[in-house]
Amino acid sequence: MTTGLIPGGQPPDPRPSGMRPPQQRRDQGGQGSPHVDNRPRSSVITARAAASFEPVGRSVATARSFVRDTLQGWGFADIVDDAVVLTSELVTNAVVHAGTHADVLCLRSEDGVRIEVADRYPEREIPLQGSPATMGSPDREGGRGLQLCAAIAGRWGVEYTPTHKHVWFQLDLPDRPVGTRAAGPSLPADLLPLADSRVRVAVVQIDRAGAISAWNEDAEELFGYQADQVTGKPLTDLAAWPHTPGTGTGIAEALQLSRWEGSYGIRGATGRVTPVYASHLRVRDTDGEPSTVCLLVRDHERAVLQTPSRLPASDTGPADGQSTDPFEVFIGSPAPDDLDGLLQRTVERARDMLDGDSAFLLLATDDETELEVRASTGLPSARQRFARVPVEAGPGRYGSARMPAVHEDLTAVPGAVPLLNGTGMRSVVTVPLKVEGRLTGSLGVAAEAPGRYSNEEALRLQFAADRIALAVESARLGELERLRRGSLSFLVEASDLLAGTLDRDQTLALMAQMTVPTLATWCAVYTIADQASDPYLSYVLHEDEELIDGIKSLLSKIPPPDPVPTPGARVWTAPGAAAHEAALRSSMRSLGLTGGPTHQVASGIGPTLATASAVGGETVVLPLVARNRVIGMLTLGKPTDEHFRQEILELAEDLSRRAALALDNARLYSERTAISQSLQRSLLPPGLPEIDGVEVDVIYRAAGEGNEVGGDFYDVFPISDGAYGFAIGDVCGTGPHAAAVTGLARHALRLLAREGLSGPAVLERLNSAILDEGARSRFLTLLYGEMRPQDDGSAQLKVVCAGHPLPLRLRQNGTVEPAAEPQPLLGVIEDLELYEQTVTLDAGDVLLCVTDGVTERREGTRMLGDDGLADVLSTCTGLTAGAVAARIMRAVERFASDAPSDDMAILAMRVA
């Protein structure tokens, strides 16, 4: 192993003891050389961070960000710039010039930071110490990395292994007062940030699962919850996180980061959202269990927690005449990776650059007719976020976002900048963000004092806007691409779910569940039965189930939205106004301003305020149009002071079209099912008659989903003089066509039997009626009989079995025998010669009549058959008619695992 060590002595060695330490190479000057430091040093490594980067150009910027974030996290902001410069040069040598992977290792010790860059190209030469000529000219393109190490680092060195080359450098920490990490200059009192008389810092600890494990007194004071009320609950139950899925960092991701700072809201006990500024720190306890400590202050007191932004390179960089990236001068480095972070950094730097009180940035919609608020500072961000204003707000250049504009006093031109209405801002400067001449956004800075800005400030802001416009547009397009991909996936999944059901109520539930919380905080679905009916509130859903009843009650007290068929979302202000009035009335009652006792209404104040907060934001209505008719409305809502972004509304419009068709299909299916079921029920007998001395029970199962009547039928009815007719039959096939013949047969039997005809005559006339149906006719097997209870407790039966499975007689001794003989079926030949047989049932005997769906029950090649049915019936001695029928049905169901494919009817009659 060959090693070269440049002045500074032996560095702290983090490698395992088995590896050889780098050998020190002294220069020709020996011990007396003034630039060689031979003092022994012993440093303890207290932290380390490592990363590997691919041999591509973007890896250099990624490595710079890695080193900067690491050192800032360790609190070494004083040496960040030098470390980034050296790392950038060394990683460039590895990934660009050598074309290999670069491994970057950061080591923290008591007296400084050591950074090592390793590549996998060990054949390159390394200049020896003491040979300045070999370092090359500073003006040449290559070889400057080691020169910079020699010029900037306290110590540095190079070592070779058979597979790697390691270049390391160490930066010592500057002397500073004990305990000081960073400090700012002294400021006059009037320049210090404003805060309340007492600044409260809520300390909230979140465990590995995202649940609250600690909640201090300041948190109780700020948000109104006692510690025992929130401990164990997920932070997501309280946090109003400004996040659109797929387009930025969500709360779950933020809680996993080692450090995070930013703004969001906390829903207090009153239901109102308190904007807060938060600083998150990821820690672990002595057992190694990770958790996140969140420090929260009110958003307007963010100066208490916010880490000061790093000064731009132009303010702190070396005065060597090198040009600086204008983008980094304005934004700072590293630039945020996500669009929201970039926009927020932009408005904060714009505000600071022009010494304003607030700043805002708007992005153009796809058609460039409107601008959408995406970031602001010094303004009520929750209320303004995703609010939309027209690109052309008025006549002339000052009313257009396409041109720079300076307003010295907004009170002279009310409404000139709609975004600032009611904010107290007096002067404002706005400039466009353009890419290749196309408007992509607008950047503005405002102040509470009039006359603060002139054309000079407009030029400075326009220069900054030109620097960031391309980066903003690139990030915006990336976000749109991710959102569109997520939208396509969402719509595909929604279509599959909606197509998977034809049940109306389930379709309504699916519509709401797909909408909340992906697209909105709450939603309501109104349905319209027909053109003459008013909209009806059919379904309400909120991401917090405890608020559903309150929202449903509120919406039921206000007129529904108008069923306008115009496509697209339109704003509906009625829920927000009603919520505001309800909250105001509750507050007045709680103060006793209505003259009534306050203790009687105090218990209802909380839910009312919570409901008001839940529906107090923007509410939009999308029509549900199917087959050129409005069949309902889909209502989406946000909590207090929030707006919908345009892309979400477009996605909701696509969903509403699919949901409307699914809902209309479910309606049509429900109507046709209701009609079918009504007609089918008319084919079944109204009920079983009470027969003295005889128990009668029936079990009927129609094959096919939604069918109540099939090709099998039964009937038991009185004839005359104490006689009763009974019948059980099977029409060829199943479904509606078979059910039509079923209706014909059952009604014809009743009519002919009551005319006094004998059994054979009844069946012969029924045979003729079936044949008269022509092509619609179907053959029919039928068991028909007449029963007369006798004075001695028995029952006399006259039976005709026309092609039907034979009835079985169960005697009291357990024997089973057929009770009739087979004869020709109906609906096949015209001239039938049928006869009836007489059977006497003694007390305790059972007559079992079934259709072939019972006897032909199959499991593979096995079939229940007549013998199997007789075996089951033989076990039913002493059972009632209902118990016999139930045991037969259980035996049939257990015989095979598959669902029955044929209709089944079981008629059991027992002489008591």
pLDDT digits (tens, 9 = 90+) for 493-547: 888 888 888 888 888 888 888 888 888 888 999 998 887 788 889 999 988 888 8
What was the pLDDT predicted at 439? 87
HSE-CB at 416 with a 13 A cutoff on CA atoms is 22
Stretch among 84-98, 412-426, 452-466, 577-591 having the lowest mean pLDDT: 577-591
pLDDT tens-digit readout, 801-837? 999 999 999 999 999 999 999 999 998 888 888 999 9
User: What confidence tier does 15 reach under pLDDT thresholds 50, 70, 90?
Assistant: very low
Measured CA to CA, the distance from residue 22 to residue 166 in angstroms comes to: 10
pLDDT tens-digit readout, 131-158? 443 444 444 444 556 777 877 888 888 8
Measured CA to CA, the distance from residue 119 to residue 161 in angstroms comes to: 11
Q: What's the rounded mean pLDDT across residues 648-663?
A: 88
User: What confidence tier does 590 reach under pLDDT thresholds 50, 70, 90?
Assistant: low
∠ at Cα 548 (543, 552), nearest 5°?
Answer: 135
Find where tokens 């080691």 sit. 146
> Considering only CA atoms, which of 376, 393, 363 is closest in space to residue 445?
376
Structure-block tokens of residue 596: 């009534």
SS (H, E, C) 503-525: CHHHHHHHHHHHHCCCCCCEEEE
Q: Which comes out higher in pLDDT, residue 793 or 96?
A: 793
Which whole-number Å values give the CA distances from 128 to 98, 136, 137, 146, in the listed order? 20, 12, 15, 11
> Considering only CA atoms, which of 421, 414, 184 is closest in space to residue 308?
184
Pairing between strand 239-240 and 102-108? unpaired
- The overall average pLDDT reported for the chain is 79
Stretch among 386-395, 417-426, 768-777 having the lowest mean pLDDT: 386-395
Contacts of 412-418 spanning 24+ positions with Cβ under 8 A? 417/393, 417/444, 417/446, 418/389, 418/393
Q: Which comes out higher in pLDDT, residue 394 or 537?
A: 537
Q: Residue 698: is its pLDDT beyond 90? A: yes
What was the pLDDT predicted at 709? 62
Q: Which comes out higher in pLDDT, residue 309 or 499?
A: 499
HSE-CB at 350 with a 13 A cutoff on CA atoms is 36
Find where tokens 């691919």 sit. 54
What was the pLDDT predicted at 308? 54
Buried b / exposed e across 850-881, counting CB within 10 Å, b at 16+? bbbbbbebeeeeeebebebbbebbeebbebeb
Measured CA to CA, the distance from residue 780 to residue 5 in angstroms comes to: 105
Strand partners, 698: 907
Q: What's the rounded mean pLDDT across residues 710-735?
A: 84
What was the pLDDT predicted at 373? 85
Strand partners, 497: none
Q: Residue 266: is its pLDDT beyond 60? A: yes
Question: Which phi-psi region, left, alpha or beta, contains residue 641 (left: φ > 0; alpha: ψ -120 to 50)?
Answer: left
Q: Residue 23: is its pLDDT beyond 60? A: no
Give the Cβ contact number of residue 338 at 10 Å: 14
Q: What's the rounded mean pLDDT across residues 710-737?
A: 83
What was the pLDDT predicted at 319? 41
What was the pLDDT predicted at 716? 93
What was the pLDDT predicted at 25? 36
Q: Residue 723: is its pLDDT beyond 70? A: yes
Q: What's the rounded mean pLDDT across residues 305-325?
A: 47
User: In degrees to the nearest 10, what's the CA dihedral of 825, 827, 829, 834?
Assistant: 40
Measured CA to CA, the distance from residue 292 to residue 288 in angstroms comes to: 13
What was the pLDDT predicted at 460? 86
